Structure 1
Amino acid sequence: MPRLLAVCAVHSLHPDAGSIGVTAIDKRAVEGAVRVGTLGVRADVQASRKHHGGPDKAVYAYAQDDAEFWERELDRKLHPGWFGENLRVEGLDVNGARIGEVWRIGDTVEVEVTMPRTPCATFARWVGGSASRGWVKRFSDEGRLGAYLRVRRAGEVRAGDAIAVVSSPEGAPTVLEVYRA
Structure 2
Amino acid sequence: MKTRPEPDEYLPGIERYVNLVPEGHLVDILQSQHDQTRLLLKDLSEEQANYRYAEGKWTLKTVVGHISDVERLWSYRIFRIARGDARELPGYDRDIFAESAPFEGMSMTEILTDFTAVRQSTLTLIANLPEEAFLRVGAFSGHPLSARAAAFLIAGHETHHMNVIKANYL
TM-score by length of 2: 0.26
TM-score by length of 1: 0.25
- Structure label with greater radius of gyration: 2
More strand by share: 1
Q: Which has the higher contact order (CA 8 A, sep 6+)?
A: 2
More helix by share: 2
